[in-house]
Chain A
Amino acid sequence: MNPASDTSLRSRLLSFIRGLNTETHSELDERTSLLQSGLLDSAATLQLAEWIQREVGADVDLLQFDLSKEWNTIIDIENFIQRHRRNQTN
């Protein structure tokens, strides 16, 4: 699957992140820095981690990744999820 074509995942992700932090509504797009900028605080980041863990499955050990890079933007997170879904189906 072409990552860019999964509009359903992207829109769900965008909607989820907008639901986490009302202060980000106006400025949030798929290239906004979520983590390195500190836009998402600890509670929001934990909820995001739980959401991603559900999307990729519990078998993926999130501890092994550099989350500041892998999850920094909506596009990064989308790529992360799709890459791990692909790995699980192969």
Chain B
Amino acid sequence: MPAADYDIVPYRPEHREQVIEFQKDLWSPSAELNGAYLDWKHLRNPYVNEPLIYLALSGEKIVGMRGFFGAKWQFGSPRQTQVIPCASDMLIAPEHRNRSLMTLIMKTALNDLARKGYIYVFSMSAGSMTLVSQMAMGWRSAGSLRPKQRVVPAKQSFPAVRTLLKKSPLAVSAYRWLRRRGRTVAAGAAGESHGNHFDDFDSRSDQRRHRLGAHVSIRETPRTEAMAELVARLENDGRIRHVQDEPYFAWRFQNPRSRYRFLFWDDDARLEGYLVLQATPLPWMPHINLVAWESTTERAGADLLQAAIELVGRETLFTWSATLGETEQLILNAAGFTRVIQTITQHPATVLVRPAREEMLNLEWSVGGLRLLDLGSWDLRMIYSDGF
């Protein structure tokens, strides 16, 4: 089908039900969850007045989509702020792929964003295919986010159990039934809002609450005011980071596709550190992510990480390390985090940048005098990405 046969249009309320159905291939198999996600990310986004979603229509049918969610960035000293949307939600219907439709949607979207006054767009959640395609369209990477993970080696099977399974057909049947039941439970969790990676975490948390120390506490909801106050108290080095005020925290952790656990470190009733863990109910996303970690002291930061490691048990912990400070890097390394091997086509984790206007492609890209393609200009946390 030639490009002329597609209409690229901005999202309108009458597209809602089709978008929810269409995104079952990307967001989740659940229409209810997709509706909640669309509302949260685009319609209740605190930084834009209208959803920045672009749809490719073939006739009346949605066959492609590209969203940009509003994000407010701060940089420089004294602090300046600017809304710079982040690309997300890229999906082309299988029967319409390999027809340059992604290029067509992106060009239309960038023209419209430029017309609306946006100077740059960022991207932090692209998978391999979208990442490479974006780079082919002039997006540039500021560098690897240097993902690190802490993997607990798998337990060895007990030789005695193996021997029993070899000898006893009844034991084999029982073992298979237990495995099937485990898979059924996991599959149920995929489409439902209950059941998640934090089941074991919560159980351990209940058991060990008194052993996590006098300063550490755990909650399922953020302390938005205290967290914003703590961030404001931290030294601002002027690097590019998302604005982290109370409205941001209140909105950000309502993402219906994620579950969060909040670890707090208080001293004399004042918050001195927090660490946020994220997981998804989707069973094919295997690890728990450390998406935010701030503290006023080394001790608070180390205590929070230690508590998180104790509570996640055998689950793999994953985080971005590229722009963390030296102290945080040392604490992560000492805790057993190691670098994840990545290439452009495997486990890519990067921040992509592009000006909305074509004529800026050959200029220096910067905000507040900070070069956008220099990773040293950035202070990046996983919560800035819509992937978490």
Beyond A38-B104, A41-B98, A46-B345, is A61–B132 a contact (Cβ under 8 Å)?
no
Chain A proximity mask over B104-145: 1 for CB below 8 Å, otherwise 0? 100000000000000000000000111011011110110110
In the complex, how many angstroms separate the beta carbon of B136 from the nearest chain A beta carbon?
4
Beyond A50-B345, A53-B343, A53-B344, is A66–B140 a contact (Cβ under 8 Å)?
yes
Which residue among B130, B141, B348 has the maximum number of chain A CB atoms within 10 Å of its CB? B141
Q: List 8 A-B contacts (CB under 8 A).
A: A36-B136, A38-B104, A45-B136, A63-B135, A63-B141, A63-B144, A63-B350, A66-B135
Q: Does A67 contact B (CB under 8 A)?
A: yes
**Could you tell me which residues of chain A, from 31 to 62, have a CB within 8 Å of some CB in chain B?**
35-36, 38-46, 48-50, 53, 58, 61-62
- Complex contact A62–B98 (CB within 8 A): no
- Residue in chain B with minimal CB distance to A39: B100
Residues of B contacting A64 in the complex (Cβ-Cβ under 8 angstroms): 141, 143
Q: Which 8 pairs between the two chains have the least Cβ-Cβ distance?
A: A38-B103, A42-B133, A35-B136, A38-B100, A62-B344, A63-B141, A67-B135, A41-B98
In the complex, how many angstroms separate the beta carbon of B1 from the nearest chain A beta carbon?
11
Q: Does A21 contact B (CB under 8 A)?
A: yes
Q: Does A15 contact B (CB under 8 A)?
A: no
In the complex, how many angstroms separate the beta carbon of B196 from the nearest chain A beta carbon?
31
Which residue among A35, A42, A46 has the maximum number of chain B CB atoms within 10 Å of its CB? A42
**Could you tell me which residues of chain B, from 241 to 255, have a CB within 8 Å of some CB in chain A?**
none
Residues of B contacting A41 in the complex (Cβ-Cβ under 8 angstroms): 97-103, 133
In the complex, how many angstroms separate the beta carbon of B120 from the nearest chain A beta carbon?
16
- Complex contact B136–A63 (CB within 8 A): no
Q: Does B356 contact A (CB under 8 A)?
A: no
Given contacts A41-B97, A53-B343, A63-B143, 11 further A-B contacts (CB under 8 A): A39-B100, A41-B100, A41-B102, A41-B133, A42-B97, A43-B129, A45-B129, A46-B128, A61-B344, A66-B135, A67-B136
Q: Does B19 contact A (CB under 8 A)?
A: no
Residues of B contacting A71 in the complex (Cβ-Cβ under 8 angstroms): 136
- Residue in chain A with minimal CB distance to B103: A38
Q: Does B92 contact A (CB under 8 A)?
A: yes
Distance in angstroms between the alpha carbons of A40 and B133 in the assembled complex? 9
- Complex contact A21–B98 (CB within 8 A): yes
Q: Which A residues are within 8 Å of any B CB, using their own CB?
A: 21, 35-36, 38-46, 48-50, 53, 58, 61-64, 66-68, 71
- Residue in chain B with minimal CB distance to A67: B135
- Complex contact A45–B100 (CB within 8 A): no
Which residue among B129, B135, B140 has the maximum number of chain A CB atoms within 10 Å of its CB? B135
Residues of A contacting B135 in the complex (Cβ-Cβ under 8 angstroms): 63, 66-68
Distance in angstroms between the alpha carbons of A16 and B130 in the assembled complex? 21
Distance in angstroms between the alpha carbons of A63 and B99 in the assembled complex? 25
In the complex, how many angstroms separate the beta carbon of A6 from the nearest chain B beta carbon?
23
Residues of A contacting B102 in the complex (Cβ-Cβ under 8 angstroms): 41-42
Residues of B contacting A50 in the complex (Cβ-Cβ under 8 angstroms): 345
Distance in angstroms between the alpha carbons of A22 and B343 in the assembled complex? 28
In the complex, how many angstroms separate the beta carbon of A45 from the nearest chain B beta carbon?
5
Beyond A42-B129, A50-B345, A62-B343, is A68–B98 a contact (Cβ under 8 Å)?
no
Identify which of B92, B132, B138 contacts A49 (C-beta below 8 A): B132
- Complex contact B144–A45 (CB within 8 A): no
In the complex, how many angstroms separate the beta carbon of A40 from the nearest chain B beta carbon?
7
Which residue among A40, A48, A63, A66 has the maximum number of chain B CB atoms within 10 Å of its CB? A63
Which residue among B133, B136, B137 has the maximum number of chain A CB atoms within 10 Å of its CB? B136
**Could you tell me which residues of chain B, from 138 to 189, have a CB within 8 Å of some CB in chain A?**
138, 140-141, 143-144
